[in-house]
């Protein structure tokens, strides 16, 4: 039988790869020409926008509250790369049907200095950024149909790598008119693993020869989380330096990584509240509660680092005793981002039944980009739902978990109660800062406490008040009066 020599096979492979790369370059250059973006190095566009409360909504998996952004303007300098978006915000009412809060400001600043892919990708998923990046990063192309529509699907990876060491990937879908209609990528997330981002571009219009979509829609896990309506655009603006300069003391807005633990936070420390009950400080406050043959941790923290620190401090306090449960007070990302280390240890998560499926499904997704303790352990989450209430009890102690009814902040909130110690533990029922109004959630908490007839002396908060100490029952009741 005749066999192809190895050298010939290698040459054919090289030629085939070169042909694919050349074909991709032709597709990209044709699209750049059709979009009028061949000489584009910067752009500014304006209109109106809205952002969904992704990961912080009352119902975690749908029905996101929306913040309107008026006078929305975004400027991108692809050569740095850098981006600045600003606007005036109208947040939703704290209570459905209630008064709207005051207008605020929106600022999203992306520079090479805050170079995490979660921020940088927002530049490269734009139609013009995608094409520019594809030309510089050995893109490939294939013909693909999506919902019966034919596209040229262009794929490329940036030089930047994920925390796991894996390559990031962007896929752009170029339609028959040679316009970028959709771009997707995946970003590491402490709760959702390889978080899928999709950006849809429609209603293209020409601004002095540059094709600009009239509408931009972003989806995360198939939920629309950001939308922009564009009514004006300029390419290569002469006042770029002024447009790209953030206002004084601007904070990074949308796109900031959730659940990050600021490096200035001190390491985990603990304080004894009662025999076998310790308050763990140094970040979001946790509680470690000892039973005869195990320990229960209340609140896993706001990041992997914090979760690991809480686990380590709990093991130091109770050497030789396993952590059986970690209680997730509610599914908001800043309170669920520390759960992955507990999963890696095989610890069961107790969460409100309203979010049991979401927590279980989220922590079961692929984690090829994250590179965290859970990804390395290859363990799957064990999650139990609390329906209205659950009692953990042995001959040494009782710990009760209760669902909070009629709470606007989250429909999946748990509070914990230790009857013998007369101790209440809650999250996000916060003490307001100077000059701030008391949250309506405080009154809701008091109503639930009265309904459940909880007799407590001390109130331990996940978000510690200033000074950092547990509150008293009288403190809480006095706060509630401020909502009337």
Q: Residues 198, 99: one domain?
A: yes
- Write the burial class of residue 326 (CB in 10 Å: 0-12 exposed, 13-18 middle, 19+ buried): buried
Q: What is the CATH number of the domain that holds 362?
A: 3.60.15.10
In a domain? residue 72: yes
- In a domain? residue 107: yes
One domain for residues 85 and 136: yes
Q: Which helix (H) or strand (E) segment is 223 a member of? A: strand 223-235
Q: State the pLDDT at residue 434.
A: 80
Is 386 contained in some domain? Answer: yes
3-state secondary structure at position 210: strand
What letter does residue 236 receive in the DSSP assignment? S
pLDDT in tens, 69-120: 999 999 999 999 999 999 999 877 666 666 666 778 999 999 998 889 999 9
The predicted pLDDT at position 372 comes to: 95
pLDDT of residue 247: 84
DSSP-H helix ranges across 327-408: 333-336, 340-344, 356-362, 373-377
Alpha helices in 35-172 (DSSP H): 117-124, 127-136
pLDDT tens-digit map of 375-388: 999 999 999 999 99
295/277 Cα distance (integer angstroms): 10
Query: Are residues 274 and 222 located together in one domain of the fold?
Result: no
User: Rounded to an integer, what distance in angstroms lies between the CA atom of residue 49 and that of residue 55?
Assistant: 19
Residues 202 and 320 both lie in one domain: no
Instruction: Determine the pLDDT at residue 19.
Output: 46
R_g over Cα of the chain: 26
pLDDT over threshold 60, residue 274? yes
Do 57 and 194 lie in one domain? The reply is yes
Q: What is the mean pLDDT of the chain?
A: 90
CA angle 443, 444, 450 (to 5 degrees): 90
Query: pLDDT per residue over 452-473, tens digit each?
Result: 999 999 999 999 886 677 888 8
Residue 221 and residue 302 in one domain: no
pLDDT of 16 above 80: no
Indicate the pLDDT class of residue 17, thresholds 50, 70 and 90.
very low
pLDDT (0 to 100) of residue 3: 46
Picking from 400, 283, 390, the residue whose alpha carbon sits closest to that of residue 335 is 283
Secondary structure of residue 108 in the 3-state scheme: strand
Q: Per-residue pLDDT for 251 more than 50?
A: no
Higher pLDDT, 114 or 144: 144
The helices-and-strands tally (H runs, E runs) of the chain is 11, 26
Report residue 26: phi and psi, to 5°. -65, -45
> 78 near 128, Cβ under 8 Å?
yes
Q: 203 and 277: one domain?
A: no
Q: In terms of domains, do 207 and 278 share one?
A: no
> Looking at per-residue confidence, does 186 or 265 come out higher?
186
Q: What pLDDT sits at residue 252?
A: 46
Secondary structure of residue 31 in the 3-state scheme:
helix
Q: What was the pLDDT predicted at 472? A: 86
Q: What is the pLDDT of residues 61-83, one digit of tens each?
A: 877 888 999 999 999 999 999 99
Q: Would 258 be classed as within a structural domain?
A: no
> Looking at residue 98, what is its pLDDT?
65
CB-based burial label for 15 (10 Å; 0-12, 13-18, 19+): exposed
Alpha helices in 363-468 (DSSP H): 373-377, 440-452
The whole-number average pLDDT for the span 432-455 is: 91
The answer as to whether 54 is a domain residue is: yes
CA triple 91-94-99, angle to 5 deg: 80
Give the model's pLDDT for residue 477.
Answer: 86
- Per-residue confidence band for 139, with pLDDT thresholds at 50, 70 and 90: very high
Residue 382 Cα distances to 11, 324, 325, 339, 350, angstroms: 51, 11, 10, 11, 9
Residue 157 burial by Cβ neighbours in a 10 Å radius (0-12, 13-18, 19+) = middle
Residue 92 and residue 149 in one domain: yes
| Cα 353 to Cα 356: distance, rounded to the nearest angstrom | 5
**267 has pLDDT over 90:** no
Asked whether the predicted pLDDT for residue 261 surpasses 50, the reply is no
Query: How far is CA 47 from each of CA 208, 216, 244, rounded to the nearest angstrom?
Result: 17, 11, 17
213-227, 245-259, 379-393: the lowest-pLDDT one: 245-259
DSSP 8-state assignment for residue 436: P
* Total number of domains in the chain: 2
> Is 250 part of any domain?
no
One domain, residues 193 and 293: no
Chain centroid to Cα 239, Å, comes to 33
Q: Is residue 263 part of a domain?
A: no
Give the residue among 129, 189, 130, 188 at the shortest CA–CA distance from 154: 130
Task: Assess contact for 438 and 429: CB atoms under 8 A.
Answer: no
215-220, strands of its sheet edge to edge: 104-110, 82-90, 66-77, 42-52, 223-235, 215-220, 193-202, 180-189, 170-174, 149-156, 140-146
Taking the C-alpha atoms of residue 201 and residue 204, their distance in angstroms, rounded to an integer, is: 8
- Interatomic CA distance for residues 101 and 103, integer angstroms: 7
Of 228, 243, 258, the last residue of a domain is 243
In tens, the pLDDT along 308-364 reads 999 999 999 999 999 999 999 999 999 999 999 999 999 999 999 999 999 999 999
State percent of the chain over pLDDT 70.
Answer: 89
CATH code, domain carrying 192 = 2.50.20
Question: Does one domain contain both 368 and 458?
Answer: yes
**Percent residues over pLDDT 90 in the chain:** 78
Tell me: pLDDT of 412 over 60.
Answer: yes
291 has a pLDDT exceeding 80: yes
Q: Is the pLDDT of residue 258 over 60?
A: no
Q: Nearest CA to 127 among 80, 170, 165?
A: 170
pLDDT average, residue stretch 369-373: 95
Domain boundary among 243, 259, 289: 243
User: What is the Cα–Cα distance from 364 to 9, expressed in whole angstroms?
Assistant: 42
Q: Pick from 243, 260, 280: which residue ends a domain?
A: 243
Give the range of the structural domain holding residue 111, as residue numbers without chain letter. 17-243
Residue 292 has pLDDT above 80, yes or no: yes
- pLDDT over threshold 70, residue 20: no
Residues 394, 466, single domain; the answer is yes
Query: Does residue 31 lie in a domain region?
Result: yes
């Amino acid at each position: 039988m005749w066999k192809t020599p190895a050298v010939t096979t290698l040459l054919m492979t090289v030629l085939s790869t070169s042909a694919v790369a050349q074909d991709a370059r032709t597709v990209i250059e044709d699209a750049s020409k059709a979009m009028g973006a061949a000489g584009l190095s910067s752009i500014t566009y304006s209109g109106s926008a809205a952002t969904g409360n992704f990961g912080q909504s009352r119902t975690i998996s749908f029905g996101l509250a929306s913040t309107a952004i008026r006078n929305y303007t975004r400027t991108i300098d692809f050569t740095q790369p850098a981006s600045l978006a600003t606007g005036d915000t109208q947040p939703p009412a704290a209570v459905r049907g209630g008064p709207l809060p005051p207008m605020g400001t929106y600022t999203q600043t992306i520079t090479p200095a805050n170079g995490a892919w979660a921020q940088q990708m927002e530049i490269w998923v734009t139609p013009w950024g995608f094409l520019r990046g594809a030309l510089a990063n050995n893109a490939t192309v294939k013909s693909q149909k999506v919902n019966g529509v034919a596209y040229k699907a262009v794929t490329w990876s940036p030089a930047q790598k994920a925390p796991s060491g894996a390559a990031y990937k962007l896929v752009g879908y170029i339609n028959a008119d040679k316009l970028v209609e959709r771009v997707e990528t995946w970003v590491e997330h402490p709760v959702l693993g390889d978080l899928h981002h999709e950006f849809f571009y429609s209603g293209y219009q020409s601004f002095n020869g540059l094709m600009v979509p009239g509408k931009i829609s972003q989806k995360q896990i198939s939920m629309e989380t950001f939308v922009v309506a564009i009514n004006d655009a300029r390419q290569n603006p002469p006042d770029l330096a002024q447009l790209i300069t953030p206002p004084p003391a601007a904070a990074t807005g949308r796109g900031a990584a959730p659940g990050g633990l600021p490096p200035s936070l001190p390491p985990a420390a603990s304080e004894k509240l009662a025999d076998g009950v310790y308050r763990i400080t140094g970040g979001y406050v946790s509680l470690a509660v000892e039973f005869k043959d195990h320990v229960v941790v209340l609140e896993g923290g706001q990041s992997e680092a914090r979760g690991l620190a809480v686990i380590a401090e709990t093991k130091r306090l109770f050497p030789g005793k396993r952590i059986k449960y970690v209680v997730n007070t509610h599914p908001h990302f800043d309170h669920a981002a520390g759960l992955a280390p507990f999963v890696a240890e095989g610890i069961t998560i107790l969460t409100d039944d309203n979010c049991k499926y979401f927590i279980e499904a989220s922590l079961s997704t692929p984690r090829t980009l994250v590179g965290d303790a859970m990804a390395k352990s290859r363990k799957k989450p064990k999650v139990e739902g609390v329906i209205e209430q659950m009692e953990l009890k042995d001959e040494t102690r009782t710990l009760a978990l209760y669902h909070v009814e009629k709470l606007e902040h989250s429909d999946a909130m748990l509070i914990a109660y230790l009857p013998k110690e007369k101790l209440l533990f809650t999250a996000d029922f916060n003490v307001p800062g100077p000059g701030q109004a008391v949250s309506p959630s405080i009154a809701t908490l008091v109503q639930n406490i009265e309904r459940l007839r909880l007799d407590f002396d001390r109130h331990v908060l996940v978000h510690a008040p200033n000074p950092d100490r547990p509150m008293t029952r009288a403190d809480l009741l006095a706060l509630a009066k401020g909502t009337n």
